[in-house]
Structure 1
Amino acid sequence: MKLTVNGTEHDLDVEDDMPLLWVLRDEIGLNGPKYGCGVAACGACTVHIDGVAVRSCQTLVSDVDGPVTTIEGLGNPAEMHAIQAAWLEYQVAQCGYCQGGQMMQAADLLSNTPDPSDQDIDEAMSGNLCRCGTYPRIRAAVKSAAQKLQAV
């Protein structure tokens, strides 16, 4: 099976019913997507498939139809994505466990809603849980990233 992840094609020998999360972590060696709940309820495993945020713990590798982007591939070596820069600027992360998934969900939001309201942000991010409760900083970082992306 061939899978393109963060712009690199991987030739994998895995079972069709293996969750994408385990392929990313165990077969490819990416640590950004995290195992949180295993039932797509917490968002720690969020990645993009063909630009759309999905929960990789409940996505079978055989169901992947398009390139996969993880938090490791969201920006590029020369420049962070606006979401990543805003996360640093607003010091969003405390423990950091959920933050890769949070940023991937936020990037998906901004690709579809360039100028999100508080309600847009709250609705889009509602499936991503943060045990540390950094929701106000997440909202502020998303708004800041939106403004920076609009200015480009």
Structure 2
Amino acid sequence: MVHPKFLLSLCLFTSLLVAGTTMAKTELLYAVCSSGENYTRTSSFRTNLETALSIKTTQINYGFYNFSGRPNSDRVDVIGLCRGDINSTSCRSCLHDSGENLRQQCPNQKEAIAWADECMIRYSNRSILHMNQTLPAIFLFNAKNASDPTRFNKVK
């Protein structure tokens, strides 16, 4: 007969293992934190940013998300862009997780941008919607081989 403590330990280990795999968060590949203005924990900017980053599935159109609010000193603009080959649920999840991770990596910064495998998210206290901006820019590459080189080489 199996010892009760062993069964309890096995159940606990299994539940932790399952919880760890189902609660996987989106990992940021790269993030840029602005060295400009900061906000405080009690500011209305923080409240506006939290509202903007509480991304709803219905607000994602064709893999693009934008939010603009309060055209004053508490202004928050957010842009999110997802890879074209992911569904709206994965897009929303990537943008939500990336927004949380970005706020942790760039605490109290009023402007930041991050890239993940499936999405990119940027927020700012200035107008960034309808602006053609090429900076900040990063270059990422994958050193792994394509799983189907023939198909990969056909894509131009």
Fold agreement, TM-score > 0.5: no
TM interval, shorter chain, is under 0.3
Pick the structure with more strand per residue: 2
TM-score normalised by the chain length of structure 1: 0.23
TM-score normalised by the chain length of structure 2: 0.23
In terms of Rg, which structure is larger?
2
